[in-house]
Amino acid sequence: MIVQQIAFVLVLATAIFYIRKRVLFIRNTIKLGKEKNITARKNERFKNMLLVAFGQKKMFKKLIPAILHLFIYVGFLVINLEVLEFVVDGVLGTHRIFAPWLGSFYAVLMNVFEFLTVAVLLACVFFLVRRNVLKVPRFWSAEMTQWPRMDANMILITEIVLMTAILTMNAADQILQSRDSHYAPTGSLFFSSYLIPLFANLETTALIIIERFAWWFHIIGILGFAVYVTYSKHLHIFLAFPNTYFASLEPKGHINNMPVVTNEVKSMLGLGTSETATGEPGRFGAKDVNDLAWTSLVSAYSCTECGRCTAECPANQTGKKLSPRKIMMDTRDRLETIGKTMAAGGDGLNDGKTLLNDYITKEEINACTSCNACVEACPVMINPLEIIIELRRYVAMEESGSPAQWNSMFQNMETSFAPWKFSAADRFNWAKD
């Protein structure tokens, strides 16, 4: 038993080490973003976090996937309570340590866990079929290359295998309870009892091997999953909470002013001493990830890659290259590249590449209509439009690289205070007669 305890502690410590290392990596890349102080309207922010991140509010625009996703989500939260018992048992060398303390209520809890286990298993099977057999179009867009599709499938398959391990362990355990006093009685467990006939005729030694293998497989699988999630799109399980809390509370059509421009205008008009009046005005818009607000970088890591934003995007629907999902995925990929260089002791921002042009093209950002359909569709309140607008601002104000038609419009607004090349007096002439 002491060998198992030592082995478990080593496995647990290894998982914690790699999770901590990855969390620090993500934190360091997010800190590359520009400062953005968010302190106001805390009650509204907590409400968003509770309703959207915890309550899955925006998922229910598509009812059936929402219900199945809810099973997986609740299963993830509740079944992990059982993992707490796994950890205590692993460290102390006990078996079902909470069973004697909870008495008959333990059986109730275990049956609830098993119900959720079966619900998660069936939901994952449905999602696998939906992705790979029915081939829902938004899961097969251009940016959904081999790795993003494989990432989703790996998680679903892993969940199915882990849930099967729980049921197998419980079935073997129920038989062992009548053969060995080490196995605390749990009462009848509804779902795993259907598997008992598969193991009923096995020797006790074989049952112990099966039960222990399933136990170890499940706990190592859970810890491995926890490490893998930090590299996967499934990081949204955790980052959805801060992302919804720090999401903009302004109306969807609101576009933030540029502090750099505001400061310069105030300085020119003598309306106050700006922070940048005595030095360089700073960059207009964003060329790379360090020009974006840190909240946009959190959003990049929070992206679920569900594609609801792209499915709702009118530009994408009409065949344009723009995909809001790709904007977020590209931003995250750029952060990963920079982070790896920084971790190796280099300066990732000076690698000869930038978010604009090397990851996201001008054709993509110019196709955006700024309609906010992607923002409205996102189940975790990600705002791809903020990134698109900052990139377009850089192209327009730093490179003068906007399309010719746009430049004409800009000039007309400067001279005629309207997008059209008419004076204010002539602007309504079209309505005569």
Tens-place pLDDT, residues 225-272: 999 999 999 999 999 999 999 999 999 889 888 877 887 778 878 876
226 and 182 both lie in a single domain: yes
Whether residue 158 is contained in a domain is answered as yes
> If residue 384 lies in a helix (H) or strand (E), which one and from where to where?
helix 384-397
240 and 323 both lie in a single domain: no
Beta bridge partners of 34: 293
Decide which of 63 and 417 is more confident: 63
* Residue with the two structure tokens 């229910």: 60
Q: Residue 155 pLDDT more than 90?
A: yes
Whether residue 431 is contained in a domain is answered as no
Percent of the chain with pLDDT over 70: 97
Cβ atoms of 396 and 402 closer than 8 Å: yes
Beta bridge partners of 103: none
Whether residue 116 is contained in a domain is answered as yes
Q: What is the CATH number of the domain that holds 377?
A: 1.10.1060
- What residues have CB less than 8 Å from 259, skipping those under 6 apart? none
pLDDT at 266: 82
191 and 70 both lie in a single domain: yes
221 and 347 both lie in a single domain: no
Q: Which amino acid is at 23?
A: V
84: containing domain: 2-31+62-244
Task: Kindly compute the dihedral angle of the four CA atoms of residues 132, 136, 137, 142, in this order, to the nearest 10 degrees.
Answer: -40
210 and 335 both lie in a single domain: no
82 and 224 both lie in a single domain: yes
Q: What share of the chain is helix, strand, coil (3-state, %, to 5)?
A: 70, 0, 30
294 and 238 both lie in a single domain: no
203 and 315 both lie in a single domain: no
pLDDT at 182: 83
20 and 160 both lie in a single domain: yes
237 and 135 both lie in a single domain: yes
Whether residue 157 is contained in a domain is answered as yes
272 and 222 both lie in a single domain: no
Counting the structural domains of the chain, the total is 2
pLDDT at 277: 46
411 and 363 both lie in a single domain: yes
The tokens describing 397, both together, are 């104000």
Whether residue 44 is contained in a domain is answered as no
* Domain final residue, candidates 244, 270, 302: 244
Whether residue 86 is contained in a domain is answered as yes
Q: Residue 278 pLDDT more than 90?
A: no
CA distance 49 to 240: 8
Whether residue 98 is contained in a domain is answered as yes
Q: How many C-beta neighbours within 10 Å does residue 203 have?
A: 9
Cβ atoms of 331 and 296 closer than 8 Å: yes
- Residue pLDDT, tens place only, 20-57: 999 999 999 999 999 988 988 999 999 999 999 999 99
Averaged pLDDT for residues 333-347: 93
Give the phi and the psi of residue 244 in degrees, each rounded to 5.
Answer: -70, -30
Whether residue 167 is contained in a domain is answered as yes
